[in-house]
Amino acid sequence: MAKISFIGLGNMGGPMAANLIKAGHEVTVFDLSKPAVEALVAEGARTAETAHAAIEGADCVITMLPAGQHVEAVYLGDDGLLAALPKDTLVIDSSTIAPETARKVAEAAGERGLAFLDAPVSGGVGGAKAGTLTFICGGEAATFERAKPILENMGKNIFHAGPHGAGQVAKICNNMLLAILMAGTSEALALGVRNGLDPAVLSEIMKQSSGGNWALNVYNPWPGVMDGVPASRDYQGGFLVKLMTKDLGLAFDNAVKNQASIPMGSLARNLFQLHAGQGNEDLDFSSIQRLYRGE
């Protein structure tokens, strides 16, 4: 069992840290949200007043932060965590950030003799709670093999996508596709309902037909059609619109840098940005259904 420092206890990070505790690891947590910290302490975590205090004596440091600027602020500079960690500490960042930011942090970690892995996740809050997340890792093969036993306490599918930054590239491609699927599913459901169809019946028809996809099959965006998903609790919790918008921005920026054409990804970005600007940024991303319902 390892001594693990976990920093960032949001909708995803909290359940991930809880699964590490359940697996028997000694977990010290830090977050600016006191309720989030208290919830993990109730699960058996230790706590610290600062991020620097949280990493003392850690074999492994895991971060799950909102955006690249937060990752840079936590790790880099004279006051960053990398400067305080002893050589050979395993550092795993599961935030979804720009590939170049992951490479920047990885380079700084390497200069200090630290083993760094960018390991963004897929699977949503449900996957985080169930311990069935997909980890998409970028870094050296030896670091990946070292991190894998820890990641397996939080996930079911653990992939090594390639060198540093590769995990982030794969993740933003995945999330761009997810946004396209969710927007398309919402559009199809709205059209059917406008024509008098029952959304539950239409959903079942499409699930069993060629239109079936993850957003429709396990995360239906129409309220009341599927139990246990954000759409059936007024779109509370889950993967927030503002985070999907951020990820679509990462995909767009990457496409510009690599001269790649992403017409559908660009449209999805515009749709989610419009939806966020209408006061929905803190709702689950499946709330894009409201845009098609005129709410």
Query: How far apart are alpha carbons 5 and 1 in whole angstroms?
Result: 13
- Between CA 248 and CA 256, with CA 254 as vertex, the angle to 5 degrees is 105
* Kind of pairing between the strands at 121-122 and 133-138: antiparallel
Q: Could you tell me if 86 and 113 are in contact, meaning their C-beta atoms sit under 8 angstroms apart? A: no
Catalytic residues: 171
In one-letter notation, the amino acid at residue 11 is N
Q: Could you tell me if 206 and 193 are in contact, meaning their C-beta atoms sit under 8 angstroms apart? A: no
| Bridge partner list, 159 | 136
Q: Could you tell me if 221 and 232 are in contact, meaning their C-beta atoms sit under 8 angstroms apart? A: no
The CA distances from residue 263 to 237, 252, 259, 260, 270, in Å, are: 29, 10, 12, 10, 11
Read off the tokens for 60.
């492994």
Q: Could you tell me if 92 and 147 are in contact, meaning their C-beta atoms sit under 8 angstroms apart? A: yes
